[in-house]
Every structure is written in structure tokens, then in C-alpha cells.
Chain A
Amino acid sequence: MDRDRCRGAGQCALTAPELFDQSDDDGTVVVLDEQPPVALQEQARRAAALCPNSVIRLIANPES
């Protein structure tokens, strides 16, 4: 997560509400689940692709 780049557009919270929320103070991203279950990984990918400031990076878990 590169939070410095976040401008709070909300694409992630809209696309993957179980994984991302926004801070009430400045609207920047709050991660709800850093290791999303398989069922939500497609949502995580979509959120990363939609982020207008490339804030979200997905890292494959070597154990999975």
C-alpha cells in the first residue's frame, strides 16, 4: 500500500468493500483484510486496476 499516493477517490472501497474502507479524516484507504480469501482475490485485483493513483500492490502469497 502506497498511502502517500492515495487521494481518496474511493474506487477500492466501492469495488471491494470487504477489503477496503476509507478514513473519515482524509478519505485515504484503510485496508480491512491484508490477506484476502481466494473468493475475494478477483475483487482485490479489480480494485488495484481501478485505483487512479496505483496505490494498491498485490503480492502473491508463496504459501498458497
Chain B
Amino acid sequence: MSVFSSASSSPVSLPLRRSSPFDPPAEYRQLREEEPVSRLAFPDGKVGWLLTKHQDVRALLADDRFSSDRRRVSSPVRRFPIRRDAPAMRAGSLIGMDPPEHTRYRRMLTGYFTVRRMRELAPRIEQIVSEHLDAMERGGPPADLVPAFARPIPSLVICELLGVPYEDKATFQRCTSTLLRLDASEDEISAARDELWQYMLDLVAAKRRHPDSALLGSLLQTGAADADLTDERLAGIGQLLLAAGHETTANMLALGTYALLGRPDQLCALRQDADLLDSAVEELLRYLTIVQFGTVRVAREDVEFAGQRIRAGETVVASLAAADRDPVQFPEPDELDLARPAAQHVAFGHGIHQCLGQQLARVEMKVGYSTLFRRFPRLRLAVRPDEVPMRDDMFIYGVHRLPVAW
């Protein structure tokens, strides 16, 4: 007799339809209660697994029997593989690496993103935030908070940190936006990837001629011995950090503001108690979990996991958004409660790949939210809530626009 129960029902598709702007699709709750390790049908026709419990998601992401190799996983939302481009273009993209290669890259980069270093950036971030809010005040009301505030701030900060010229933002913002669109064709993805790749290669070549002290220039001079940093690998690192650095925080800033404007009681508490800011940021990360389709791993071998047998080569989707609404971990999970101890959330993932830039994101959010609400005590939506266009169509959730007045 097998000790494993086999998931009996037919495979589900990844839940995509939200019934409210801030809650993940309702099917996740039912799955978590009835079949927390469920069979999942992928758009490419393969069948794998979907995890919806906090405990299982954390266990998967800390389990070295599963690989992050992006060439071997099925995409939960696209018909074509996450990556099948040339090896040179994947070099340096540590998100898809396993140890020991991943460890070398991660160690090389983490010193640039420590809690202490990120706190040292706070004054510069405050300056950038103030300049943008000054400009927003001069131009309005109303204003669209996305281009006025949420998008430029993290973009400028990551550009300065990496040593990428912000003037080139039209190029890299267009490319990363295409890469994150659910309905982009494989040709469009491929073209955007090629363009961003060529842009980064040119930039790295320029840094070799004129080294600077920002991250990419500094790696050129100091990191080469450890990881044999070719131009391709550096370009891969730059591409990943640039995309990750400006899309994620941008959406947290805008979506978090939208969520808080709809909860005047919580916003009022935050304004009156500066000590609430730390837990407020963790709670917004949990409540909104903007990596809305979760993260993926592939079994290297046949694995017993949470009472199921996962076969070698099967893709497992860890639903971060479902895990962060698990009532076992977070009582009353669908309530936004800024005072909640929410730090166990998996919005940044878990295990060895947990977000490299998380301490930067935290500082950007703390400075961003607190300055915005201090500068504009009467900030409000300039449209009806149902007129705010949501990013259901993007890998990273958020708002496309957020018209506000004050």
C-alpha cells in the first residue's frame, strides 16, 4: 500500500480572475482548504503542482531537492517556456541558478544590498521623493501617481545604484514592461530580451572603458576573480537587477497607496504613529503580494512532499499570494491591519532566492509612503475606485494609473 494519497480530482488551472482589487482570486481559498497540494494544468499542456498553504510554500522554497533552472520549468501563465534563449543571455541571471553557481553570484552581490547600506541611501531617496512630490504639486491637482511618483522613484534609485543612465529609461522601461505582459507573444518577449541584452552589453563595454564606483563598475574591478565576470555575465546581472528594481517597488508604492486611501482608519493611524511604519510596510507586502502568480521550482528527482509524490521534472508553483492569506499563519488574513506582526510573509519569497533587493524596497516604501502622506494630508482618489485600471494582465500586480487629487 502506498503511503501517499494521490490527488484525486482533475488538475486545476491557475486561478486568474479576481473579484476585488486587493484580494487574490477566491478559488485559492477553496484550494487551500480542500486540496492544498493540488494538480495544476499548465498552458503548455503539462501537469504539475500548485501549493497554497504558507507552510508548504516555505517548505518548497527551502528544499534543495527542487531546482530554479528556468529552462526546465513550465510557465503557469504562458504556453511557451520561461526561458529558452541562448546560454550567453542567461549568464549572470542568478534567479534561475542553483547552488553552487547561485551561491557565488549571490555572495558577490549581497554586500551591496545589506540593511546598513540601504539605510545609508535613505537621505538620497528622501531627496528624490521630495523633488518628485514638489513637481507633482506644481502640476496639479489632479495627477497620475504612477508616472509622478511610483515609477520614477525606484527607477532612479536602482539606476544610481547600478550605474545605469536614467536618461535611457524609455528603452529599459519599455523592454521590462513587455517582458512582464501576460499577453506578449514569444517573438515580442524575445525581441524585448534581445534589446535589453544589447543595451546592457553596450553599457558594460562603456564601463570597461570608463569604470565608475556604482555597482556594475565596481564589480568589473573587484568581482572578476571570484566568478569570472565576463561582459555577458555582468550584463545578465545588470538586466535582472534593473528589471527587478524598478517594477516591483513601483507597483508596491502605487497599489499600497490605493489600498490605504480606501482604508481611512488605517491611514489615519499610520499618520498619527510613526512607529507603525515598519509593521505597515510588512503588512502591505503581505496583503498585496504583488508577485501574483507566485514562483516556480522543478523537482530534480522523485520527491515526497506534503503527502504527495512529485515526479522528477514536474513543475511546482508556489502561490505566494495564497500563502500570504493563509489563516493558519495570519488570523483574519483578508483584513489589512497595519499593526499586525506580518513579517513571516513570503512576498519576497523564501529560501536561498529570497529577494536580494528587499532591504532597498523596504527603505523606498518607508520613505515613499511616509513622505507622500505627510506632504498631501488630503490625498484622495480623483476617480471612482472601480475606474482604477488594475494590472491583472501583468506578472507584477498593481495599478496601471492612479489619478489622485489633494
Contact = CB atoms under 8 A, between A and B. Distances in A.
A in complex with B: yes
Interface of A: 7-11, 13-15, 17, 21-28, 46, 49-50, 52-54
B116 to A, nearest CB: 7
Given A10-B115, A10-B359, A50 B110 contact: no
Given A14-B359, A54-B62, A7 B114 contact: no
Interface of A is mostly: loop
A17 B111 CA distance: 17
A55 B77 CA distance: 34
Given A10-B358, A27-B107, A50 B114 contact: no
A63 to B, nearest CB: 31
Contact of A53 (B115, B343, B352, B355): B352
Interface residues of B, number: 27
Contacts, number: 70
Interface string B297-312: 0000000000000000
Contacts of B6: none
B103 interface: yes
Contacts of A24: 111, 114, 117
Contacts of A26: 107-108, 110-111
Nearest to A13: B115
25 contacts: A7-B110, A7-B352, A8-B114, A9-B354, A9-B358, A10-B115, A10-B358, A10-B359, A13-B114, A17-B115, A22-B110, A22-B115, A22-B116, A24-B111, A24-B114, A26-B110, A26-B111, A27-B109, A27-B114, A50-B343, A52-B349, A52-B350, A52-B354, A53-B62, A53-B352
Given A8-B110, A22-B116, A24-B114, A50 B344 contact: yes
B257 to A, nearest CB: 23
A27 B111 contact: yes
Contact of A25 (B61, B111, B343, B355): B111
A29 B143 CA distance: 43
Nearest to A20: B115
- Most central of A14, A15, A21, A25 by chain B CB within 10 Å: A14
B351 interface: yes
B103 to A, nearest CB: 7
A54 B117 CA distance: 23
A51 B350 CA distance: 9
